[in-house]
């Protein structure tokens, strides 16, 4: 009778200890997910910043023989979007250093091109038709 009472007490202690250990173990994994969001939340502001930086949009209108925008200023690594519209003659919009070139547009046509301004400096954009560049169809892209 005394032996079976001891067994019951031992069994109760084991069960209580088991519950205690089990609940501590299940607390363990719960603690780490709460610290994981702190780690994974840090890349989020960087992603948002990239998106905010990403697109600088400019509309450039061409006519005989000029671009209405003579200077475009952006920051390094900006994504530059040029909406190029042709209001007269046949023209294109070219910038050699970034390998950017629209098609040769007829009057009334437009084309949108995008590129990453991945180097700093001053770069000339121009119309590559005939002698249009020499006649004044150029402007400056400034990447700071
Ligand atoms: Cu031209």
**pLDDT tens string 40-77:** 555 555 555 555 567 999 999 999 999 999 999 999 99
Task: Using CB atoms within 10 Å of the CB of residue 53, give its burial: 0 to 12 exposed, 13 to 18 middle, 19+ buried.
Answer: middle
Cβ atoms of 132 and 93 within 8 Å: the answer is no
Any domain includes 37: yes
- What's the sign of the alpha-carbon dihedral 106, 110, 116, 118? positive
84 with 119, same domain: the answer is yes
Q: What is the pLDDT of residue 141?
A: 98
Q: What is the pLDDT of residue 34?
A: 45
Q: Which residues pair with residue 138 across a beta bridge?
A: 126
81 with 107, same domain: the answer is yes
Kindly list the distances between the CA atom of residue 126 and the CA atoms of 6, 17, 21, 96, in Å, as whole numbers in the listed order. Answer: 96, 81, 75, 9
Ligand 1 center to 57 CA (angstroms): 21
CA 115 to chain centroid, in Å, comes to 12
33 with 94, same domain: the answer is no
12/112 Cα distance (integer angstroms): 77
22 with 59, same domain: the answer is no
Ligand 1 center to 138 CA (angstroms): 9
69 with 125, same domain: the answer is yes
Q: Can you tell me whether residue 80 is helix, strand or coil?
A: strand
CATH number, domain containing residue 84? 2.60.40.420
Count of domains observed in the chain: 2
pTM given for the model? 0.64
How does the average pLDDT of the chain come out, rounded? 81
62 with 112, same domain: the answer is yes
Ligand 1 center to 71 CA (angstroms): 17
At 36, list the tokens. Answer: 């994981």
Q: Look up the domain containing 75 and give its range.
A: 54-143
Any domain includes 47: no
Any domain includes 138: yes
Ligand 1 center to 129 CA (angstroms): 5
92/24 Cα distance (integer angstroms): 70
pLDDT > 60? residue 142: yes
At 73, list the tokens. Answer: 């200023």
Ligand 1 center to 81 CA (angstroms): 20
Q: What is the pLDDT of residue 23?
A: 61
How long a stretch of residues is the chain? Answer: 144
20 with 63, same domain: the answer is no
């Amino acid at each position: 009778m005394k032996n079976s009472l001891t067994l019951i007490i031992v069994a109760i202690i084991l069960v209580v200890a088991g519950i205690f250990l089990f609940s501590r173990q299940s607390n363990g994994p719960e603690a780490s997910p709460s610290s994981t969001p702190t780690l994974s939340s840090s890349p989020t502001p960087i992603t948002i910043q990239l998106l905010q930086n990403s697109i600088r949009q400019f509309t450039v209108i061409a006519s005989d023989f000029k671009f209405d925008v003579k200077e475009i200023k952006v920051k390094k690594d900006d994504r530059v979007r040029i909406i190029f519209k042709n209001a007269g003659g046949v023209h294109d919009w070219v910038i050699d250093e970034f390998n950017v070139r629209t098609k040769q547009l007829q009057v009334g046509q437009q084309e949108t091109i995008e590129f990453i301004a991945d180097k700093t400096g001053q770069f000339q954009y121009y119309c590559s038709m005939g002698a249009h560049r020499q006649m004044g169809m150029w402007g400056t892209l400034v990447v700071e």
